[in-house]
Structure 1
Amino acid sequence: MARILLADDDKATRDLVKRALEADGHHVELTQDGTEALERLTAAPDTLDLLVSDVHMPGLDGIDLAKRAIAAAPGIRLLLMSGFAEELERARALPSDRLAVIIKPFTLEQIRQAVRALLG
């Protein structure tokens, strides 16, 4: 199964998404913001298959994190989450064919399906 890095500043969301994805057999590492996620990603970019990130986070937001992830690990897949339409438009404009967005709030099945679709 996939090795997933999850970045979200909301603990409840992190825990919920982690449980949903681990139920499908994925290994999920948690980070609480974009800066921590970028440090983890750049330390070992070849060890991750997918970055799941909230867009709206303090410090390094999910859009900037995604841009840096694409540069550090060109093969990584990206799933960006947000409840704000303008942020999702920014996310969709990123230069990657391995990118999907999901609108908050979402169901556990919706996040699981989005991950399955990205991983192919």
Structure 2
Amino acid sequence: MSVSSQIGQGTTVQLWLPAAGQVIDTSLRDRGEAAASDQLDRSAALRILLVDDDGLVRSGTAEMLDDLGHLVVDAETGSEALERLAACEDGFDLVITDQAMPGMSGAELIRRIKVAHPHLPVLLASGYADLTEEKQAEDWPRISKPFRQGDLASAIAGITGPPGTRRSGT
């Protein structure tokens, strides 16, 4: 994305998107997303800590999670996430973290979480992480960016189990 602005002339925003390799029938995709989001029982909301340094990605993911019926607390950095974990009396049911963040990677954050909260489920979201970190993080559940709401719902259900069998991680 590129944004340029000149006084009196206006603002130009350029957005480059990858070319699609095939035509996607969006009606099928939308039905699939609806079916996947229905997998989660809205009465069994999870308390989720969402960590991403990109504000747009964080707010978009938070909206997806909210739409799925979950309670979302967000953090911009790994350090902020650790502070939120320590301050939350009720605990969290799941942590979703970006991998590529300045200061503390998602893998490092997960390692620190596992020391204090060994049973807290985590989901590592990555679009293009460092290969060394990825190798170390291969045992943790992952979701590839970009993802759709249905993908996110399926990943959460796969980690936390069906509603009614979920238990708090902290």
The TM-score, its normalising length taken from structure 1, stands at: 0.87
- 2:72 aligns with one of 22, 28, 33: 28
Where does residue 5 of structure 2 map in the other structure? none
Unaligned runs of 5+ in 2: 1-44, 162-170
Larger-gyration structure (1/2): 2
Where does residue 88 of structure 1 map in the other structure? 134
Aligned residues: 115
Where does residue 120 of structure 2 map in the other structure? 76
Q: Is the 8 A contact 1:4 1:48 kept in 2?
A: yes
Where does residue 59 of structure 2 map in the other structure? 15
- 1:66 aligns with one of 100, 110, 113: 110
Could you say what the CA RMSD is over the residues aligned between the two structures, in angstroms? 1.6
Tell me if 1:103 matches 2:141: no
Identical-pair percentage: 39
Unaligned runs of 5+ in 1: 94-98
Q: Secondary structure at the match of 1:92?
A: coil
Instruction: State which drifts further: 73-82 or 105-114.
Output: 105-114
Higher helix share: 1
Where does residue 50 of structure 1 map in the other structure? 94
Shift of 1:101: 0.4
Query: 1: CA distance between counterparts of 2:89 and 2:119?
Result: 9
Query: 2: CA distance between counterparts of 1:13 and 1:112?
Result: 16
Shift of 1:16: 1.1
